[in-house]
Amino acid sequence: MVARVIIGANYGDEGKGTVVARYTKESDNVLNVLTNGGPQRGHSILTEKGSMTFQHFGSGTFHGADNHYSRYFILNPMQFVNEYNGLLVKPKHIYRDPRCKWTTPYDVMANLIQEEQLRRKASCGMGIWNTIKRFNYMPGKTMLFDMLFALTEEAKADYLRSIRRYYDNNLQIPDHWKDTWYSPALIQHFLEDCAFMLDKTEVVELKDLSYENLIFENGQGLLLSDTGKDTYDTTPSDTGIRYALELTGELGIGSLTAHYVTRPYLTRHGDGEMMNEKQRKLISKDIMEDRTNHDNEHQGGFRYGKLDINSLYDRIVGDARGVRFQLELTHCDEMDRLNEFKMKFGDVNTYDTPLV
């Protein structure tokens, strides 16, 4: 069995989707494991027919990979339905660990309300932090996804109303949100999305699956990893090698290759600290306006910065924990720094844009 983990080396948006798609295309019998985070990720691949962005599915889906949601991945039935219906290639099998946390409309709306009240653009607006906190702090028993479907229809709706009450006690709901927030139709529609996801996925732990190639696809990047300080501009998961090491260790796989992905420069979405930030054209006149990452209402602007290769190397070595790693350098056609990277890392895999 060959096991790889694809890791963003910076603030996300490095090109992880392209790297996953390449390794999937070159391999047979692939299981694409969504390792961490949730569908706040947006991993894009570019083809001759245009771009495709994967959030709730692995980027290897385009080349026929089956999908697995690890126990560290947060399910979002609403996003699952929207994305599944738009897939050009649908996975034959979509597996999920029974321990996955799951997001409700109230987690998402609470996220958006909080960002609105704080007048900032630092979140993807998918309710990830809110979901984590609700599972940790909501009074009473927090249900796993499949437990919901052991209930009667009224009990399901009542459980969702209990989540709404949890937020009512912890958040001031603005008047312009109240019609949606208290809508009975919202609960019914969400339960339909949950039923759709239940029908399309299989509950299987990773240890019970057998594939020749495992590709763990991480979300976000090393500079966004959870610091334990609950900061708004990070993500509530370990974005490095840790989870993939745990999961492959449980499988008895002794060989894992870590593929760290970077552009020749830094990028970041929205608010939050960013090292060496500069205007795009001051970094290199050849850096093009990004084709798949755009300014958006939740995260704000797409920002650029100069990448220090020595800091990058230290960051990767510190995360890899002695595991064999490979540097994957994307957007090479936008900035010629290949020799600098080779001097520090040795062998470097390169990608131009577009590719797949």
pLDDT tens digits for 161-186? 999 999 999 999 999 999 999 999 99
Average confidence (pLDDT) over 48-67: 91
Whether the link from the prior residue into 354 is cis, omega within 30° of 0, is: yes
Residue 308 amino acid letter: D
Q: Which residue has the tokens 């520090």?
A: 344
What is the model's pLDDT at position 231? 58
Quick one: how far is CA 58 from the chain centroid?
9
* pLDDT for residue 271: 78
Q: What is the full DSSP assignment across 319-340?
A: HHTT--EEEEE--GGG---HHH
Q: Exposure of 285 by Cβ count < 10 A (0-12 exposed, 13-18 middle, 19+ buried)?
A: exposed
In the predicted structure, residue 232 carries a pLDDT above the cut 60: no
Taking each helix axis as running N to C, give the angle between helix 184-200 and helix 77-86, from 0 to 180 degrees, rounded to the nearest 10: 60
Assign 50 a pLDDT band (cuts: 50, 70, 90).
Answer: confident
Q: How far apart are CA 291 and CA 240, in angstroms?
A: 26
Q: What is the pLDDT of residue 253?
A: 92
Can you tell me the mean pLDDT for 77-86? Answer: 97
Q: What are the chain's domains?
A: 2-97+204-350 (3.40.440.10), 105-201 (no CATH)
Q: What's the rounded mean pLDDT across residues 83-95?
A: 96
pLDDT tens digit sequence for 260-283: 999 999 999 877 889 999 999 999
pLDDT band at 121, cuts 50/70/90?
A: low
